[in-house]
């Protein structure tokens, strides 16, 4: 009885290793590992364009101009 369980586990292990190998080769073939440094460096780049909506940006620039005019 225990010999049957051993062969069953051995066969199941071989199937899982085969599935893992297929998954790794599929990922390599589809370019999942092509650019490992790009996303890590992209997060460090600053965006020049502010992420403020246009109307809000327009209002805030007017208030800055009014503050400058009032301080003169």
Q: Identify whether the C-beta of residue 43 lies closer than 8 Å to the C-beta of residue 49.
A: no
pLDDT per residue over 8-37, tens digit each? 999 999 999 999 999 999 999 998 888 777
Q: Identify whether the C-beta of residue 60 lies closer than 8 Å to the C-beta of residue 54.
A: no
pTM confidence score: 0.48
Q: Identify whether the C-beta of residue 57 lies closer than 8 Å to the C-beta of residue 50.
A: yes
Domain assignment of residue 59, given as a range: 2-66
pLDDT per residue over 41-54, tens digit each? 777 776 665 665 65
Is residue 39 predicted with pLDDT exceeding 80? no
Is residue 64 predicted with pLDDT exceeding 90? no
Please count the structural domains in the chain.
Answer: 1
Does 71 reside within a domain? no
């Amino acid at each position: 009885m225990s010999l049957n369980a051993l062969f069953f586990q051995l066969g199941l292990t071989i199937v899982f290793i085969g599935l893992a190998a297929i998954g790794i080769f599929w990922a390599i073939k589809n370019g999942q590992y092509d650019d490992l440094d790009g996303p890590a460096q992209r997060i460090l780049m600053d965006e020049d364009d502010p992420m403020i909506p246009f109307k809000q940006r327009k209002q805030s620039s007017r208030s800055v101009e009014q503050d400058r005019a009032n301080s003169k």
